[in-house]
Amino acid sequence: MRSKRVGGTMFEDANKNKFKISKFGDFLRSDPDVLSATYSREREDDDYVDHRMSNASAATTSYCPSPADASPYPLSPLNQSSPYNKSPWIIPSPIYSPFGENFPKNGLIGSLVREEGHVYSLAVSEDLLYTGSDSKNVRVWKKLKEFSGFKSNSGLVKAIIISGDRVFTGHQDGKIRVWKLSRTNPSAHRRIGSLPSFKDFVKSSMNPNNYIKARRNKSVVKIRHFDAVSCLSPNEDLSLLYSGSWDKTMKVWRIADSKCLESVSAHDDAVNAVASGFDGLVFTGSADGTVKAWRRELQGKTTKHFLVKLLLKQESAVTSLAVNRSSGSVYCGSSDGLVNFWEGIKDDLSYSGVLRGHKMAVLCLATGGNLVFSGSADKSICVWRRGDGGDHACLAVLTGHTGPVKCLALQEDEESDELDQRWTVYSGSLDRSVKVWRVYENLPDLKQYTASLYSPNNSMIDQAIPKSNRS
């Protein structure tokens, strides 16, 4: 059954409106989302949880303490009639530190709840935050207040990418829509087309060789996705955009003219993640349990993507990917709750270990600096820090969402520097909220934190912290 919708923006009491998840079913390979029965809605609403372990041998294993179900951050209800009315974001959150009141703390900055659908996608560019949901709306926020918004005709917004003055949105209906920022009015977004362009689609449809078999007794033009667009990833160096879809393909687009350069039959099941990488590589992850590395190479007068390496093959579905270009690392989240990762240069990528911090599927990943963020169906976000030798330690566990964490976006803080690097992290959830966090990269990890709680010198701080917040 659908939840009753209420127009406008409201701040919601996290204790009062906790969702009750009755049961998780088996994973459906054609639907990579993890949803509870409470969130059921069409194809997006198939439940799963997979407790099978990864088949990859763990060279390095890092653990993170299990998070609490939720943190009681009190919010005030506020109903507004117009969906575009301005609304404050800042909501104080109690954050404790055993290292003293003046010591930096990781924690929640603010939270926004809008009664218009689950949040499936996020993107951040300078001072603007874009949020996509199953209401077909894309909201634009500036300085933690609603700034503007635009709406597509159909299809929930599964992916958002910003490239220059253009915004690309991937939708459940298989379309990629292109929007452009107005030069005279920064809050205005005008739709300028879709991928592929109408002209290219008509031209391609006239050639019988450009059709592929989609379903039984049905053929489609191969330059257009015929199932949900699950992911987008830009290659700014080559001015390319990669898209992955439940139709099992990865498509390559030239941003300048919206032309489809190539359609790659990448996997045997839905493509859940695509990530433009380093050294000319692009990575894809699928519900078929594989992660593949591709490289764009010349073939005659054109270029094509060739499979370079099969990084992973397992039973559990691959649900998310992230790349850290500076360290040459590739991270893969799976439905079994694990984050596997590889490191290397060019084609010499080797399996380097696994991060264990979640009880349920890892739905999203993001990297920044030496940090890796993993969002899960267990409603938590684990923060991992990569050391100089490639070892990873759990820096923090961010809790507060009452539903699965579906998407992440991060931005380096304006006051950040080399000695005090800090990040602003945005998390979107199926609890219909977006939460904003501040994370410091150079804080002690959770092992050091736990040791400090019970050291003789910190007895007073130990008594000041509630037992529920102790490791």
Domain parsing of the chain, residue ranges = 9-469
Q: What is the largest CA-CA distance in the chain?
A: 78
Instruction: Going residue by residue through the chain, which has 471 residues, state the pLDDT in tens, using 9 for 90 and above.
Output: 444 443 444 444 444 444 444 444 443 343 444 444 334 333 333 333 443 444 444 456 677 765 444 333 333 333 333 343 443 333 334 444 444 555 567 789 888 777 678 999 999 988 899 999 888 889 999 888 888 888 887 778 999 999 988 999 999 999 999 999 888 887 888 999 999 888 888 988 888 888 887 776 788 888 889 999 999 999 988 899 999 999 999 999 999 899 999 999 999 999 999 999 988 899 999 999 999 999 998 887 788 999 999 999 999 999 999 999 988 999 999 999 999 999 987 778 999 999 999 999 999 999 999 999 999 999 999 999 998 888 999 999 999 999 999 999 999 887 766 677 889 999 999 999 999 999 998 877 666 555 554 444 443 333 333 333 343
State the DSSP string of 301-366: TEEEEEEEEEEEE-SSPEEEEEEETTTTEEEEEETTSEEEEEEEETTEEEEEEEEE--SS-EEEEE
For residue 151, count other CB atoms closer than 10 A to its CB.
Answer: 12
Domain 9-469 has CATH 3.40.50.2000: no
* Residue 68 to residues 16, 72, 398, Cα–Cα distance (Å): 17, 11, 9
Cβ neighbours for 338, distance < 8 A, ≥ 6 positions apart: 53, 54, 316, 354, 355, 356, 358, 362
Residue 52 amino acid letter: R
pLDDT value for 88: 38
pLDDT value for 445: 66
Pairing mode, strands 348-356 and 61-63: parallel
Distance (Å, rounded) from C-alpha 458 to C-alpha 444?
A: 15
pLDDT value for 184: 83
Contact 223, 210 (CB under 8 A): yes
Distance (Å, rounded) from C-alpha 121 to C-alpha 118?
A: 9
Closest CA to 94 of 111, 76, 112, 73: 73
For residue 211, count other CB atoms closer than 10 A to its CB.
Answer: 14
* Residue 58 to residues 168, 312, 353, 355, 360, Cα–Cα distance (Å): 37, 12, 5, 9, 19
pLDDT value for 127: 86
Closest CA to 115 of 45, 10, 2, 1: 10
Pairing mode, strands 338-345 and 249-254: unpaired
Distance (Å, rounded) from C-alpha 254 to C-alpha 178?
A: 13
pLDDT value for 462: 35
Closest CA to 196 of 184, 186, 208, 204: 204
pTM strictly above 0.95: no
Distance (Å, rounded) from C-alpha 433 to C-alpha 116?
A: 10
Cβ neighbours for 394, distance < 8 A, ≥ 6 positions apart: 62, 63, 64, 65, 355, 357, 382, 383, 384, 445, 446
Contact 71, 381 (CB under 8 A): no
